[in-house]
Amino acid sequence: MKREIRSYVLRQGRTTPAQQRALEELLPRFGIPFSNSFLDTGQVFTRTAPVVLEIGSGMGETTAAIAQSNPDTDYIAVEVHGPGIGSLLKKIDALELRNLRLIRHDAVAVLEQMIPDASLAGLHLFFPDPWPKKRHHKRRLVQPAFAALAARKLAPGGYFHAATDWPEYATQIDAVLSSSPLFEKNSQGKKVRPVTKFERRGIGLGHPVRDLLFLRRQK
């Protein structure tokens, strides 16, 4: 997927001293360095288990909660925002999560270069930046090229779970995935998902939240 337009702008914001310490001390322990060769998840997690990748884990509350309640699945969180990464690292340490690791990099490059094809059991995309201005819509992550990339990386039967509080982006995600012959919509399916930090903010503003679930077709 050739692209110069990114789905994020790096605004680091304020990093607390505790987050900074986590970045320095815990990233080497719980982070996976970005690399342009395929990752051996069996080696990373020292076991064979389904692997779910999350794009944009933010402050990581939901990410950590999901990993804690699903110990038989391994999770890779991908995020670029320093304070959020620091915050998630602290949670991995405090909760002693052995099934959650983090990559500090652009998730599109991670998918393309580090994740073997047909290897993921699931992909999470919770409250992606909605880029509400029309001239910024091109920055939205979910576009046809992204759907093709997601389909390539998911194992047959694997799931893509997105959630957004931006109705018009929900419509776009729905349209893009529905028009891919490689996905089928799973309207009845419901994945349990704890409320995320951004979701809480959206709910406070009266935004409706929509979850979208698609399955990677077998062929």
Ligand X SMILES: C[S@@+](CC[C@H](N)C(=O)[O-])C[C@H]1O[C@@H](n2cnc3c(N)ncnc32)[C@H](O)[C@@H]1O
Nearer to ligand X, 127 or 214 (CB): 127
Structural tokens at position 71: 């110990």
* CB neighbour class for 27 (10 Å; exposed up to 12, middle 13-18, buried from 19): middle
State the minimum distance, in angstroms, from the CB of residue 111 to ligand X. 9
Contact call for residue 107 and ligand X (CB under 6 A): yes
165 binds ligand X (CB under 6 A): no
Is residue 106 part of the annotated active site? The answer reads: no
* Cβ 165 to ligand X shortest distance, Å: 9
Q: CA 216, CA 158: separation in Å to the nearest integer?
A: 5
Are the CB atoms for 165 and 202 separated by under 8 Å?
yes
Residue linked to tokens 């704890």? 194
Site string for ligand X, 117-136 (x = CB under 6 A): ---------xxxx-------
Cα separation, 56 vs 80, whole angstroms? 8
Considering the complex, state which of residue 41 and residue 196 has its C-beta at the smaller distance from ligand X.
196
Alpha-carbon Rg for the chain in angstroms: 16
Among 3, 8, 98, 155, binds ligand X (CB under 6 A): 8
Name the segment binding ligand X (CB under 6 A); options: 17-25, 41-49, 106-114, 145-153.
106-114
Indicate the burial class of 98 (C-beta count within 10 angstroms; 0-12, 13-18, 19 or more): middle
Q: State which of residues 45, 77, 165, 199 lies at the interface with ligand X (CB under 6 A).
A: 199
- Tell me which of 129, 165, 174, 211 is the catalytic residue: 129
Interface with ligand X, residue 83, by CB under 6 A: no
Pick the closer one to ligand X by CB: 74 or 106: 106
Pick from 31, 58, 82, 122 the residue near ligand X by CB under 6 A. Answer: 58
Distance CA 51, CA 57 (A): 15
Q: Pairing state of beta strands 210-216 and 183-185?
A: antiparallel
Q: Which two tokens stand for residue 151?
A: 């389909």
| Enzyme catalytic residues | 129
Query: Binding residues for ligand X, per CB under 6 A?
Result: 7-8, 55-58, 78-81, 84, 106-108, 126-129, 196-199
